[in-house]
Amino acid sequence: MWTFTSDVEAYAAVAEPFLLGDPVGNTVALTVLANLRAGMSAKDARFGWWTVDGEVRGAAFHTPPYPIGLAVMPVETVAPLVEALDRDIPTLVGPVRLTDEVARLMGPPSRVLSERLYRLGTLRIPGVPGRGRLATPADYPLLVSWHQAFGEEVELPDGDAADRVARRIAARELFLWEADGVPVSLAALSPAAGGVCRIGPVYTPPSCRKRGYGSAVTAYASQAGLEERCEQVVLFTDLNNPTSNAIYQAIGYEPVSDYAHIAYA
């Protein structure tokens, strides 16, 4: 049975122990929960959990404008979830076996973005000229423009970029790579949740690409996470971008499982 609430703490009380059973696979769900507790807007948010004989075995969440998110859970949770949502699923993200089941029930989506979740094994620092550093308030205008450019490039919603960047700078979550004293690439690091931090987004403006800056800033942020914040670091890649998949593996990231964004809008 699916149960829904708009109360984040009511949701956390029953769903968080389940989510912590797989903190890597549920990195997005746990990060969303951490961000909500830290003050992220939850207007029109909705949270759900699936129980069998009183035991929580699944979870889902929706914090507009972002897609409905699915935790790692059994496939049999999907059909009753689709019906509980009245088949109103404009966009959804989750493990690919679950998104495939949604597509089987609702028909082919209008758009599919295939992703792969990676977990950092042994970090290998690339030999790229420059240095990494934390972003500061002085970087705010540049990083807002970069976040907007990233959202346009990947065609995925990123909410209010100005508010998001301000919050992430204040929380020490944004890292820059500098070459000759000039910022050339960005990597964000989510707050630790269940001992796991997640890299993303990673963005290098087109004029600075193909020089290793994305690898360098990702390695720098990953190292900062392991040294100061968490036990494991993960990230998602677009499976249609072989370059990003190759560079992250080159610095030590290892594949875990596949996910997908699907859209019916």
One domain, residues 131 and 100:
no
CA distance 134 to 178: 11
Nearest to 172 by CA among 187, 162, 194: 187
CA angle 150, 151, 153 (to 5 degrees): 65
In a domain, 215, yes or no: yes
One domain, residues 145 and 104:
no
Residue 157's pLDDT is 65
One domain, residues 129 and 232:
yes
One domain, residues 94 and 133:
no
Q: In a 3-state reduction of DSSP, which class is residue 116? A: strand
Residue 217 sits in a domain of what CATH number? Answer: 3.40.630.30
In a domain, 201, yes or no: yes
User: How many domains does the structure of the chain reveal?
Assistant: 2
pTM of model > 0.75: yes
One domain, residues 203 and 130:
yes
One domain, residues 17 and 88:
yes
What is the edge-to-edge ordering of all strands in the sheet holding 46-52? 2-5, 46-52, 55-62, 68-70, 91-95, 253-263, 111-120, 232-238, 196-203, 182-189, 174-179, 131-134
CA distance 166 to 187: 15
User: pLDDT, tens digit, for every residue of 11-21?
Assistant: 999 999 999 99
One domain, residues 182 and 57:
no
Residue 244's pLDDT is 87
Which of 61, 79, 108 lies at the terminal end of a domain, its last residue? Answer: 108
Confidence of residue 232 (pLDDT cuts 50, 70, 90): very high
pLDDT of 158 over the 70 cut: no
Burial class (CB in 10 A: 0-12, 13-18, 19+), 66: middle
Query: How many other CB atoms sit within 10 Å of the CB of residue 264?
Result: 17
Residue 73's pLDDT is 98
CB 184 within 8 A of CB 177: yes
Domain of residue 11 covers 2-108
Q: What is the mean pLDDT of residues 2-18?
A: 96
Biggest alpha carbon distance in the chain?
61
User: pLDDT, tens digit, for every residue of 30-60?
Assistant: 999 998 888 777 789 999 999 999 999 999 9
Calculate the CA 74 to chain-centre distance: 21
